[in-house]
Amino acid sequence: MEKEERETKRRYGTVNFEKRKHPRFSVDLPAEYNRADVSIKQGHATNASEGGLLLYLPEQIEIGKHLRLKLFFSMGSELHTIETLVEVVWTDIHLGKDWGDYRTGVRFVEISAEYMGKLRNFLRSLSG
């Protein structure tokens, strides 16, 4: 009987639930960034939420490094910018080193209430 019970026992697996606090939105936004020791460089965001961004940058940046970031987007006929301090939380190479396109996940470390309000309004405009 013991063997029979094992065979009819239900099996349970793990389910991968979304762990992010904020919903993510696909975007294509130009960005400028710099570190204390480097001049301003260009990148772009392809994914945005109230917690952070997925950036494509021309260089690989170490996890834990902080960047000053300026993000550009339009709402209606107005061009908006958001300036923030972000921290690199993960990075990988998307197209390979020869292409110089590094996928970089960043989280907001410092963002003013005004800029967070602009970002929220922009993200809401994308959701519906």
What distances in angstroms separate CA 66 from CA 18, 20, 21, 91, one per listed residue?
Answer: 26, 21, 21, 13
Distance CA 90, CA 88 (A): 6
Percentage with pLDDT > 70 across the chain? 77
Distance CA 96, CA 40 (A): 23
Residue 23 confidence class, pLDDT cut points 50, 70, 90: confident
What CATH code is carried by the domain that includes residue 46? 2.40.10.220
Q: What is the pLDDT of residues 71-123, one digit of tens each?
A: 999 988 899 999 999 999 999 866 555 566 899 999 999 999 999 999 999 99
pLDDT at 38 over 90: no
Closest by CA to 83, choosing from 118, 43, 59, 48, is: 118
Q: What is the pTM of this model?
A: 0.78
Count structural domains, the chain.
Answer: 1
With contact defined as beta carbons under 8 Å apart, do 58 and 41 qualify?
yes
With contact defined as beta carbons under 8 Å apart, do 25 and 49 qualify?
yes
**pLDDT for 29:** 95
**pLDDT for 35:** 86
With contact defined as beta carbons under 8 Å apart, do 102 and 95 qualify?
no
Which DSSP string corresponds to 69-95? EEEEEEETTEEEEEEEEEEEEEEEESS
**pLDDT for 7:** 52
Section 36-46 average pLDDT: 88
Domain that holds residue 9: 2-126
Amino acid in the structure at residue 61: I
